[in-house]
Amino acid sequence: MTSRCKSSEQLPPYRIEQSPRALRAPLKRATKPITHHPPMPIVNEGLEREFEWVTRPGEQKHISEALDLADEMMQEIAYQLIIGKNLEVDRLTKECLDKGYTANHILDNGLLNGMAIVGVKFRDNVIFVPEVLVAARAMKAGMAHLEPILSASGIEPIGTVIMGTVKGDLHDIGKNLCIMMLRGAGWVVHDLGVDTAPEEFADAVMEFEAQVVGMSALLTTTMPNMGRTISYFEDIGLRDEVRIMVGGAPVTREFADEMGADGYGENAVDCVETAVSLLALQKELA
Ligand code: B12
């Protein structure tokens, strides 16, 4: 992990006069007048330093609000993820579960907060692919403890979904989260992994008689492969047999509509809701 020391000389000029905390405060007052939980200040020194890399006001507000429910333990998980300490994330996640934190709480307030800051640092060229890979490994170490909990449903299978990241795209953290949630909600999910060609999606639909396909893309350059997969389904006469949902950070509802998808989900919870409504639609059409 490359460590970068941030002296005040390295910081953009408009951030030298005000600390990030100072920048956060007015935003909170303006946007969150009523809150049932007192917002949690950043008490973790490492995380506070990492938060300094978040310089865009919109992102400061978003991440700051997301950190509102992150207590010391969650902040430590987020920090250890950012600096890529997979063994620490593994240990802390287990410890939090033992202490009674819910899997959803650890995911939302610990792991995803850490990954949000990793995303900002990556985009702003503060860190590069190797560091992101190390952070992703730490994310996976935490998710490994959460998966059995989020995936355990004990209810009759609702239906079958084929999930995969589209051709050319190697991002799988979000897709894997969707899969955990789907399994937890009682779906049978066949995971085709990353870099999935249209033919692989189609073969899996036929083999497992799936009612729903979910495609994930994180790159603007691979998003069109969702549309290509839908066209392939049309070409081989499979389009009416299955409902198709799409998602991933750059994907929007408009884009989903444009390429002819049946559903779009912004996050893993949406993914489950979308799959449920698409199954109902598919039954209606059958
Ligand atoms: C981790 C990461 C990587 C890791 C991936 C590790 C892994 N195993 O996934 C590695 C290092 C491999 C990587 C590589 C690259 N990356 Co990358 N990466 C990221 C990063 C930091 C986080 C992504 C992530 O996991 N987010 C957390 C998850 C939980 O969120 P999510 O994926 O959005 O998923 C949620 C929703 O979108 C939704 N969802 C997701 N899928 C689906 C599917 C359905 C059906 C539904 C309903 C919902 C749904 O639910 C999920 C859960 O809530 C993002 C930054 C970002 N902010 O997104 C960049 C980012 C996506 N990467 C980027 C780039 C440029 C690359 C590289 C090209 C870099 C390079 N120069 O090589 C390569 C491409 C490799 C490839 N061919 O795919 C850019 C993309 C820019 C663009 N406009 O296209 C981003 C946005 C960073 C940036 N700002 O520059 N990356």
pLDDT digits (tens, 9 = 90+) for 219-255: 999 999 999 999 999 999 999 999 999 999 999 999 9
Mean pLDDT of 55-82: 94
- Ligand 1 centroid – CA 172 distance (Å): 8
Q: Which atom of ligand 1 is nearest to the CA of 269?
A: 53
The Cα–Cα gap between 193 and 209 comes to 18
The domain boundary residue, chosen from 152, 185, 219? 152
The mean-pLDDT minimum among 27-41, 51-65, 67-81 falls in 27-41
The predicted pLDDT at position 184 comes to: 87
Query: Residue 150, class by beta-carbon neighbours within 10 Å (0-12 exposed, 13-18 middle, 19+ buried)?
Result: buried
The Cα–Cα gap between 242 and 282 comes to 7
Same domain flag for 146 and 168: no
Residue at 249 is within a domain: yes
Q: Which atom of ligand 1 is nearest to the CA of 174?
A: 34
Percent of the chain with pLDDT over 90: 77
Same domain flag for 118 and 172: no
The answer to whether the CB of 181 falls within 8 A of the CB of 269 is yes
Domain carrying residue 137: 27-152
- Strand arrangement, sheet containing 263-264: 188-191, 160-165, 212-216, 243-247, 263-264
**pLDDT confidence band for 12 (50 / 70 / 90):** very low
The Cα–Cα gap between 256 and 11 comes to 39
Percent of the chain with pLDDT over 70: 86
Residue at 232 is within a domain: yes
Cβ within 8 Å of residue 130, ≥6 positions away? none
Cβ within 8 Å of residue 52, ≥6 positions away? 6, 11, 15, 20
Mean pLDDT of 197-210: 98
The domain boundary residue, chosen from 152, 180, 213? 152
- At 188, is the secondary structure helix, strand, or coil? strand
The predicted pLDDT at position 202 comes to: 98
- List the CATH number of the domain containing 184: 3.40.50.280
Average pLDDT, the chain: 86
Query: For residue 107, is pLDDT > 50?
Result: yes
Query: For residue 5, is pLDDT > 70?
Result: no
- List the CATH number of the domain containing 84: 1.10.1240.10
Per the structure, how many domains does the chain have? 2
The answer to whether the CB of 222 falls within 8 A of the CB of 233 is no
Ligand 1 binding pocket, CB closer than 6 Å: 115, 118-119, 122-123, 129, 132-133, 136, 168-175, 177-178, 214-216, 218-220, 245-250, 265, 267-268, 270-271, 274
Place of tokens 């009612």: 211
The predicted pLDDT at position 15 comes to: 28
Relative orientation angle of helices 112-123 and 72-82, to the nearest 10 degrees: 40
pTM recorded for the entire structure: 0.84
Same domain flag for 71 and 114: yes
- Ligand 1 centroid – CA 219 distance (Å): 7
